[in-house]
Amino acid sequence: MSAILHTVNKSPFEKNSLATCLRLSLPGSHILLIEDGVYAAIRGGSMSDDLKRAMSDRTVSVLGPDLRARGITEDGLVDGVGVVGYDGFVHLAAESSKVQSWM
């Protein structure tokens, strides 16, 4: 069975959804930050190190439209974080075994 796509839509500064996702996701899974979840990926933010650690065995992406809506540029992201559009979101969902939404 291929790996899970985890989505996180909460800012890590508001709720523990990303923290819970990080501790309950298995190696090989993909974590997609959407909506306010994208704030976690700002380089220099307090989640940077957690995301870097996660990226040692998982993939982390952000939803580009949500990034741009919030005035964050791709070059301001934690190194290694990918950017996808809604089509990429659909593709990731289709390629994964299932989607788990951490809200």
Partner 1 sequence: MSEPDSQAGGTVKKFLYINRRAPHGSNYAQEGLEVALIGAAFDQDVAMAFLDDGVFQLKSNQDTAEIGTKNFSATYRALGDYDVKKVYVERESLESRGIGEDELMPLVYEDEDDDWEEKPLISVVDEAELREIIDQADVILNF
Partner 2 sequence: MKFAVVVNEGPYTHQASDTAFQFVKAALDGGHEVMRVFFYHDGVNNGTRLTTPPQDDRNIVNRWAELASQHELDLVVCVAAAQRRGIVDPDEQKRNSKDANNIADGFRISGLGQLIEAGIQADRLVSFGD
Instruction: Answer with the entry of partner 1, partner 2, none that 86 interacts with (C-beta below 5 to 8 A by kind).
Output: partner 2
Nearer to partner 2, 78 or 96 (CB): 96
Residue 67 as a binder of partner 1 (CB under 8 A): the answer is no
Could you tell me the smallest distance in angstroms from the CB atom of residue 42 to partner 1? 24
Residue 101 as a binder of partner 1 (CB under 8 A): the answer is yes
- Which residues, 7 to 36, sit near partner 1 by CB under 8 A? 16-17, 20, 23-26
The C-alpha angle 66, 46, 103, rounded to 5 degrees, equals 45
DSSP sequence for 13-76: TT-SHHHHHHHHPPTT-EEEE-GGGGGGGBTTSTTHHHHHHHTTTSEEEEEHHHHHHTT--GGG
Instruction: Answer with the entry of partner 2, partner 1, none that 102 interacts with (C-beta below 5 to 8 A by kind).
Output: partner 1
3-state secondary structure of 94: helix
